[in-house]
Structure 1
Amino acid sequence: MNKKLLEGVIDMHVHSNPDIRHRRYDDFELMEAAIRVGARAIVIKTHQGTTVDRAYLCNKHNELTHYGDNNFTMYGGITLNRQMGGINPYAVESGLKLGGKVVWLPTQSARNHLEKMKQSMDRCVDVIRDGKPVPELYDVFRLVKDFDVVLGTAHISPEESFRIIEAARDAGVKKIVVTHPEWWLVDMSLEDQVRLVKDYNVILEHCFAQPLGGGKYKSNLPMNLEAIEACGYKNVMVCTDGGQVENPCWEDALTQYIQYLIDHNIPEEQIYHMTHTIQAELLGLSV
């Protein structure tokens, strides 16, 4: 593989410690792995709330230990699960003022997640009520628009995604990412992905692997290749959703992902767009 495809790479979905579920790397270890391969940026994600403060500490640690010898930046975001008060514009505003770059809708508190996992609805955070986005979401849309950051659909259902994305676009939100649509829990059809790209010009985040239960994971790469071919590389973003101890280290998962695309005749300039350009535009970085 052309190692230059890893230089400057950006991954907008990686999990790390501290976390309730143990991850392969902690924040500093992930940062060091990214620096070793010459990555430009990572966005760390947690289901427990916010990673904005953790990203700040990583960047300060980088500054104090590497003395500016790299171009890497760690970014954080906020996930609107029950722990953050659900659809909480106050939490969103604080997170964005502190430098957050992504606002994820509910993941483990999403109605779709809880229903698919057959879990108690006690912590459910709804995004749709009576067929319309909940009122608090319009304040979140305004904040996402004003701060020019990313709205991620997280673990909501395809039906909810269509309504939320339409409302977000109407509210002026420019940067919308459909989170791992290939995952069985989200279960968005390829036809729906094509329609969302056509109608709303969203970015589809396609990740390395998905859990099947019992610590087993299934590769998403064949499905991701189909999405690239059907939806077009300009709207498919390569991410790992990495960090699980059952999967390869973050940098190895990303390398395998890129090599798979090369082996299946995706041109390098298209791979570069899906691993560098889309992410840089979403994060407001120079391309």
Structure 2
Amino acid sequence: MNIQDTPGRADAVAELLVGAVDLHCHSGPAAFPRRIDHRDAMKDAEAAGFEALVYKDHFYPGMAHATLLQTLYPDEKVKVYSGVALNNANGGINPFAVDHAVKLNGKIVWMPTFSAKNHIDKSQTETKNYPKSDKPMLEQIPLTVLDENDRLTEATQQVLDVIAAGDIILAGGHLNVRELKILFAEAKKRGVKKMLVNHPTYVIGCEDDDMVELAKMGVFMEHSVCMLIDCRARRHEPDDLARLINLVGVDSTIMGSDLGLMNMPLPIEGFREIVSILLDLQFSEADIRKLIGGNAGSLI
């Protein structure tokens, strides 16, 4: 879809992007090759009038990068943040890594992604085309939040307590839906107020009923823009996007780019296209602003 095809569409899209928030920007440097670095992602977001941008790397916390960029470019209005993904490189499900993230103004803790047992189990199916590093990496130790009795591990419970105390976002990473239901239920009991499922229809295994159940618990569904626009990662057509949003409601849905990878649109390009699609689907401007910024902004 070319947003220039409809007269005035580009201007309408540009206006709606002002105040947008991307919680899922895969800029670099990174072990997996990236098309864009943190500074260029920041510049693109600033030029488009974004409110905020969250850098996500699977292997290192990016809070120091975000803070340094904010210091170096104090006149730019976009706020840049990061968080920590609890993969092997960060010590796995590690409350100390989470505590460090909180102390450095991290905004999100992602449960295991690349190191998640669920991700590894699906390496011959859903994740077989997942990005790879230029150089071979150590074999991942499969991680899960559950013990042999299907109860949350002690380390996971400690992580939840640190997240609750810091009042930051708990994101499900690449855990499967069964793990997530146990995790989010306990998180809510322990005082975690901000919860997010990353790309529920990819790797996670969420069916419609699962998304409704989680949304009723106060968990946001974050749908990856890259899986909804015209690119090699596409998994859904526009009508399916409308169905996914209406399934749990605009107030429980967030759009995150999940972009920055090679041979893919830039994050800002993905946001432009998803806004145009949402306009075509007849979502109101108020609802579009919630989906691409307001809901995410309320979490950070």
Q: Tell me if TM exceeds 0.5.
A: yes
**What residue in structure 2 maps to residue 260 of structure 1?**
277
> 1:136-181: per-residue Cα shift (whole Å, max 9, x none)?
1111111111111000001000111111011111111000001110
Aligned residue for 1:138, secondary structure, equals helix
TM-score (norm 2): 0.87
Single out whichever of 135-144 and 118-127 deviates more from structure 2: 118-127
**1:45 and 2:56 are equivalent in the alignment:** yes
Match of 1:193 among 206, 211, 219: 211
How far apart are 1:121 and its partner, in Å?
Answer: 7.5
Q: Which has the higher contact order (CA 8 A, sep 6+)?
A: 2
**1:204 and 2:199 are equivalent in the alignment:** no
Task: Name the structure with the higher strand share.
Answer: 1
1:203-282 superposed matches below 5 A: 203-210=220-227, 216-220=232-236, 222=238, 223-282=240-299
Query: Which residue identity lines up with residue 201 of structure 1 in the other structure?
Result: G
Count of residues paired in the alignment? 273
The 2-side partners of 1:194 and 1:20 are apart by: 35
The 2-side partners of 1:236 and 1:51 are apart by: 25
**1:111 and 2:117 are equivalent in the alignment:** yes
Match of 1:125 among 139, 143, 165: 143
**1:160 and 2:171 are equivalent in the alignment:** no
> 1:204-248: per-residue Cα shift (whole Å, max 9, x none)?
10111249xxx9422445333211111100000011111112221
The 2-side partners of 1:17 and 1:110 are apart by: 22
The 1-side partners of 2:89 and 2:253 are apart by: 30
The 2-side partners of 1:97 and 1:146 are apart by: 11
Match of 2:24 among 13, 18, 31: 13
> 1:223-277: per-residue Cα shift (whole Å, max 9, x none)?
3321111110000001111111222111111000111011011111111111121
Unpaired runs of 5+ residues, structure 1, are none
> Identity of paired residues, percent?
28
> 1:169-207: per-residue Cα shift (whole Å, max 9, x none)?
111100000111021x22211221011112x02111011
Query: Which residue identity lines up with residue 219 of structure 2 in the other structure?
Result: V
How far apart are 1:61 and its partner, in Å?
Answer: 2.3
1:13-162 superposed matches below 5 A: 13-63=24-74, 68=75, 70-118=76-124, 122-129=140-147, 130-162=149-181
Query: Which residue identity lines up with residue 28 of structure 1 in the other structure?
Result: R
Single out whichever of 256-265 and 113-122 deviates more from structure 2: 113-122
Unpaired runs of 5+ residues, structure 2, are 1-8, 129-137
TM-score (norm 1): 0.91
